[in-house]
Amino acid sequence: MSGGGLLLSILADHWKQVEGLLDERVPAVVAEAARNAASKAFSCRTEGNGFVQYRCDDCGAIHKVCFRCKSRFCPTGGIARAQEAAANAQGRLLNVRHRHLTFSVPAELRPILFADRKLLSVVAKAAVQATLTAVGTRCRRHAPIPGVMATIHTYGRDLSFHVHVHVLCTEGGLRADGVWQPVHIFPAKQYRRLWQYYLLQFLRQALRGNRSAQWVIGRLYTTHPSGFIVNVMGMYRNGRMAAAYCCRYTGRPPLSEKRIIAYDGEAVTIAYRDYRDGKDKAISLPASEFLLRLLQHVWPRYQRDVHYHGLYQPSRRKVNVAAVARASYYGDQVRPVLPLSRRERMLRALAGRELNCPSCGGHLSIEYVQFRRRHHVFQRSESQSRGSTQLPLPV
């Protein structure tokens, strides 16, 4: 475990105990995903996860730099994953103003969602539908269609199971007559009522035959007469700033290591800000309980936590972007910034680094790149300048 870090140290110290409790504390699909996430975290920055091999031009010494695991659970690998998520979002989000909406699920529904993680996609669908409906009412003759990106989170600041949906919505939409309709009014009261209606309706349809769940859903119509909580205050001036939001909220682990303020081998103390009263607080937990709280938020395999709808619907995104560019006064300036591929980003990063040999101080040249399932060999000719490389040749 050469990735290091306090969180990985806690995991290494108590993993055997925690692994035996996973099947009792979380659903089976989450327990399986948690074991995979822990395995990736242990391999972070080890040769088994891939590496770049350098050779010194002077003394011939070989040095290896291992890759991160890019697991959301790993605080080291999560940084790379968050950067990749932000780059992908830049290639999808229109370069226009966006509104950040947060839809909170009431506490009564959380046990149902905890037991069946497939329902989280239903929650995202309800938040998206509430947003599309609300924006569509801004022009009744030609309902504008906005671009919507929804990201589901299951964790609260104290690592409790608190489901909520972060939604990025364009401050405007494309009308059926090809006109871009600006939308600057996002009334919280309307969103609260729509969020309640669509969430309960969609869950009721998905849980047919579950009498206890139907009873809970039925009560929520009367116990929350003003609707469910929706925060509509966040704003971003353009698509690039909205994509920076992705770097912060998508792909990252539920807990930053900076918030772990104490660990004595048996107990972990974390700091958090209570959103109810705005005060900074701390909570101490046994190390095993801390890890179980953390691992309950690992996503099952093949289940998506980010959803695109409206103008961002994957099947029609290119057509919609072109239509917005035609309708906009700024033309192609509203188009998303196309991201580099993973291979292009790696080659650019490697080509721009000047590394010196730790042994003799000589120049290091890239000789070999090993991935999990493939590798690349870098070839140099005598005519090339010192330290330059050709594109890698797949082997």
Residue 250 structure tokens = 């998508």
Does the predicted TM-score (pTM) go above 0.85?
no
266, part of any domain: no
Q: Is residue 263 part of a domain?
A: no
Considering 312, 334, 356, which residue would you say is the last residue of a domain?
A: 334
In a domain? residue 281 = no
In DSSP terms, 173 is beta-bridged to: 181
Mean pLDDT value of segment 37-44: 84
- Look up the CATH number of the domain holding residue 193: 3.40.1310
242 and 360 belong to one structural domain = no
DSSP string, 162-218: EEEEEEEEESEEE-TTS-EEE-----HHHHHHHHHHHHHHHHHHHTTT-HHHHHHHH
Q: How far is CA 393 from CA 56, 254, 369, 374, 389, in A?
A: 20, 38, 10, 11, 11
User: Both 192 and 95 in a single domain?
Assistant: yes
> Which pLDDT value is given to residue 254?
83
Give the pLDDT of residue 301. Answer: 87
- Does residue 390 form part of some domain? yes
Mean pLDDT of the chain: 85
**20 in the same domain as 108:** no
* More confident site: 156 or 387: 156
Residue by residue, DSSP assigns 110-174 as HHHHHH-TTHHHHHHHHHHHHHHHHHHTT-SSS--B-EEEEEEEEE-TTS-EEEEEEEEEESEEE
Q: Are 56 and 359 in contact (CB under 8 A)?
A: yes
45 and 129 inside one domain: no
166 located within any domain: yes
CB 294 within 8 A of CB 108: no
Last residue of a domain, one of 334, 353, 385: 334
378: domain range?
A: 6-69+342-394
pLDDT tier at 330, thresholds 50, 70, 90: confident
The pLDDT, as a whole number, for residue 4 is 52
Structure tokens at 321: 């972007």
Question: Structurally, how many domains does the chain consist of?
Answer: 2
Helix axes 188-206, 119-136, angle to 10 degrees: 140
Tokens of residue 82, six digits: 């968050």
Question: How far apart, in whole angstroms, are the C-alpha atoms of residue 55 and residue 61?
Answer: 6
Q: What is the pLDDT of residue 79?
A: 63
Q: Which residues pair with 274 in a beta bridge?
A: 279
pLDDT for residue 353: 61
Residues 353 and 313 in one domain: no
Residue 217 lies in a domain: yes
96 and 43 within one domain: no
What tokens does 158 get?
Answer: 């104290």
| Largest Cα span, the chain | 79
Q: pLDDT band at residue 77, thresholds of 50, 70 and 90? A: low
pLDDT, one tens digit per residue, over 255-301 is: 888 899 999 999 999 999 888 788 899 999 999 999 999 999 999 98
Reply yes or no on whether the pLDDT at 227 is more than 70. Answer: yes
pLDDT tens digits for range 101-138: 999 999 999 999 999 999 999 999 999 999 999 999 98
Domain shared by 371 and 231, yes or no: no
Strand order in the sheet with 393-394: 62-66, 51-56, 364-370, 375-377, 393-394
Cross-strand pairs, 151: 166, 306
* Distance of alpha carbon 68 from alpha carbon 127, whole angstroms: 34
Same domain for 92 and 232: yes
Element (H, E) at 38: helix 28-42
Question: Are the CB atoms for 18 and 289 separated by under 8 Å?
Answer: no
Residues belonging to the chain: 395
Residues 239 and 151 in one domain: yes
Question: Please, are residues 254 and 160 in contact by the beta-carbon 8 Å criterion?
Answer: no
Report yes or no on 294 lying in a domain.
Answer: no
321 and 346 assigned to the same domain: no
pLDDT band at 162 (very low <50, low <70, confident <90, very high): very high
15 and 137 both lie in a single domain: no
- β-partners of residue 263 are 268
Q: Are residues 224 and 149 in the same domain?
A: yes
Long-range contacts of 286-289 (CB under 8 A, 24+ apart): 287/10, 287/13, 287/14, 287/263, 288/14, 288/17, 288/18, 288/21
Angle at 17 between CA 11 and CA 20, to 5 degrees: 115
Region at 251 (left for phi over 0; alpha for psi -120 to 50; beta for the rest): left
Q: Is residue 261 part of a domain?
A: no
Pair of tokens at residue 189 = 């009261």
The amino acid at residue 171 is E
| Percent of the chain as helix, strand, coil, to the nearest 5 | 40, 25, 35
pLDDT score for 391: 36
Residue 207: pLDDT band by 50, 70, 90 thresholds? very high
Last residue of a domain, which of 334, 358, 384?
A: 334
Confidence of residue 80 (pLDDT cuts 50, 70, 90): low
